[in-house]
């Protein structure tokens, strides 16, 4: 077995209070008999070998967290304000044919929500926001995300009419201080008046880009990512609030670090990594699926890289996992109080309301908000059954998890899955890995 070398670490520069230690596995080629200096954002580390007989070139493990967590993460342990997110599938029409798309069978359907149906959506949003604010106090936010299909295919006049209706239904009935946001999930291969209207209205723009050839293509087989990145760069320069959603699979799992660097240099606000799950369609992307172990190792590599670069860009699920661990560090022993949970609804083009993932499987249908008020849906047998299923999932996966109470349970509720009983195979292990590095022996 290779002997592990010992190093003295001298810190200089604006070093922040220690939050723990992490063996970050930074690989440096150096001569062990000579001092070595490494600059990490916010400080400088000086390494000097304690073993003069060491080999002339070695791999060194450095402790970043002994020095700092970047300033961007300083408030991460605090509970963020809970939000309700409404993913509104305005229609399924799309100009791309992504290999893993869970709407694969409906991408040519030109049906979209009518204004009357949008009114039903906004009335449900208004009622649920009011009820949750009354029940949980101020600080509860709501986000309405235009989803698809491709939302930018809808004509400008349609978008104007919908936004005018939103102002009529929401802004005239909720307090001026109500935290209501709009967003759009788009392949961003098109620009024009529709996108300009959304940006001018303050939409957060999330662009779907995978940084891989042959996966995100249009109906003629032409690549989409380059167009999306050019348009994203222009949006960022214009001051729009933008982020990127990457579907993690076999096509791009070996390049997340370079993807992060590209987006960080571009100045986007967030990166969301969604591990691909098997879509319930005939989409031809099943060969892109990764095993949980592969997803975990990919996220571990990115976590190290993310901290090295100063963690300026918010990255899901890394931010969620680190928040869970820091919440454990700061919690009083025995409190076991779970954070306030975010809530997500998906509105499908036919009015079906679901509460999990992007599918409308019969077991997850809560009701139809085009035919029933949200108050009726939330008092229905389907809603109560959904709550029982969510509780059963938490019992099945969270009860035995070392991070129960600090985690909000989101990883086991976010997407449809059939996982073996026990802690979730990726996020729980990612949290444990981070926790062991932050404070060895901390986990239960």
pLDDT in tens, 294-327: 999 999 999 999 999 999 899 999 999 999 998 8
Question: What pLDDT sits at residue 439?
Answer: 62
Q: What is the mean pLDDT of residues 76-80?
A: 72
Is the pLDDT at 140 greater than 60, yes or no? yes
SS (H, E, C) the chain: CCCCCCEEEEEECCCCCCCCCCECCCCCCCCCCCCEEEEECCEEEEEEECCCCCCCCCCCCCECCCCCCCHHHCCCCCCCCCEEEEEEECECCCCECCCCCCCHHHCCCCCECCHHHHHHHHHHHHHHHHHHHHHHCCCCEEEEEEECCCHHHCCHHHHHHHHHHHHHHHHCCCCCCCEEEEEEEECCCCCCHHHHHHHHCCCEEEEECCCCCCCCEECCCCECHHHHHHHHHHHHHCCCCEEEEEEECCCCCCCHHHHHHHHHHHCCCEEEEEECCCCCCCCCCHHHCCCHHHHHHHHHHHHHHHHHCCCCCEEECHHHHHHHHHHHHHCCCCCCCCCCCCEEEEECCCCEEECCCCCCCHHHEEEECCCCCHHHHCCCHHHHHHHHHHHHHHHHHCCCCCCECCECCHHHHCCCCCCCCCCCCCHHHHHHHHHHHHCCCCCC
* Model pTM score: 0.81
Is the pLDDT at 8 greater than 50, yes or no? no
In tens, the pLDDT along 184-207 reads 999 999 999 999 999 999 999 999
Specify if 373 maps to a domain.
Answer: no
Specify if 121 maps to a domain.
Answer: yes
Interatomic CA distance for residues 222 and 66, integer angstroms = 48
Specify if 439 maps to a domain.
Answer: no
Specify if 227 maps to a domain.
Answer: yes
**What is the number of domains present in the chain?**
1
Is the pLDDT at 372 greater than 70, yes or no? yes
Per the CB < 8 A criterion, the answer to whether 236 and 266 are in contact is yes
Specify if 351 maps to a domain.
Answer: no
Assign residue 141 the CATH number of its domain: 3.20.20.70
Specify if 224 maps to a domain.
Answer: yes
Per the CB < 8 A criterion, the answer to whether 194 and 231 are in contact is no
Specify if 441 maps to a domain.
Answer: no
Q: Which residue has the higher pLDDT, 100 or 362?
A: 100
Range of the domain at 109: 83-330
Question: What pLDDT sits at residue 411?
Answer: 85
Pairing of β 141-147 and β 83-89 = parallel
Specify if 232 maps to a domain.
Answer: yes
* pLDDT band per the 50, 70, 90 thresholds, residue 150: very high
Q: What is the mean pLDDT of residues 268-279?
A: 89
């Amino acid at each position: 077995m290779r002997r592990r070398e010992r190093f003295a670490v001298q810190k200089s520069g604006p070093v922040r209070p220690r939050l723990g230690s992490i063996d970050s596995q930074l690989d440096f080629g150096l001569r062990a008999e000579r001092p070595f200096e490494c600059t990490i954002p916010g400080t400088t580390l000086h390494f000097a070998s304690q073993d003069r007989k060491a080999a002339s070139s070695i791999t060194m493990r450095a402790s970043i967290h002994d020095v700092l967590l970047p300033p961007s993460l300083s408030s991460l342990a605090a509970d963020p304000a809970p939000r309700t997110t409404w993913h509104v599938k305005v229609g399924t029409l799309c100009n791309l044919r992504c290999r893993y798309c869970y709407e694969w069978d409906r991408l040519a359907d030109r049906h979209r929500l009518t204004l009357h149906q949008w009114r039903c959506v906004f009335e449900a949003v208004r009622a649920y926001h009011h009820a949750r604010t009354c029940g949980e106090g101020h600080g509860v936010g709501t986000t309405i995300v235009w989803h698809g299909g491709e939302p930018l295919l809808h004509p400008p006049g349609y978008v104007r009419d919908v936004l005018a209706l939103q102002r009529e239904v929401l802004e005239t009935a909720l307090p001026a201080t109500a935290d209501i946001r709009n967003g759009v999930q788009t392949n961003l291969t098109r620009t024009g008046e529709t996108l300009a209207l959304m940006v001018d209205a303050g939409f957060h723009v999330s662009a779907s880009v995978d940084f891989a050839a042959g996966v995100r293509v249009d109906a003629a087989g032409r690549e989409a990512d380059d167009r999306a990145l050019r348009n994203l760069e222009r949006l960022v320069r214009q001051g729009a609030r933008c982020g990127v959603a990457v579907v993690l699979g076999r096509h791009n799992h070996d390049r997340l670090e370079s993807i992060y660097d590209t987006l960080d240099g571009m100045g986007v606000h967030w990166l969301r990594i969604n591990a691909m799950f098997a879509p319930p369609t005939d989409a031809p992307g099943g060969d892109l699926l990764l095993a949980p172990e592969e997803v975990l190792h990919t996220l571990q590599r990115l976590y190290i890289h993310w901290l090295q670069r100063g963690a300026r860009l918010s990255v899901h699920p890394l931010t969620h996992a680190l928040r869970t661990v820091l919440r454990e560090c700061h919690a009083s022993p025995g409190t076991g109080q779970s954070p306030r949970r975010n809530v997500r609804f998906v509105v499908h083009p036919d009015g079906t309301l679901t509460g999990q993932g992007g599918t409308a499987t019969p077991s997850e249908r809560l009701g139809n908000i085009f035919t029933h008020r949200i108050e009726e849906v939330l008092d229905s047998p389907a809603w109560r059954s959904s709550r029982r299923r969510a509780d059963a999932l938490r019992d099945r996966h969270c009860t035995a998890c070392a991070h129960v109470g600090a985690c909000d349970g989101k990883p086991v509720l976010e997407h449809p899955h059939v996982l073996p009983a026990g802690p979730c195979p990726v996020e729980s292990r990612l949290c444990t890995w981070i926790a062991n590095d932050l404070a060895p022996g901390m986990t239960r």
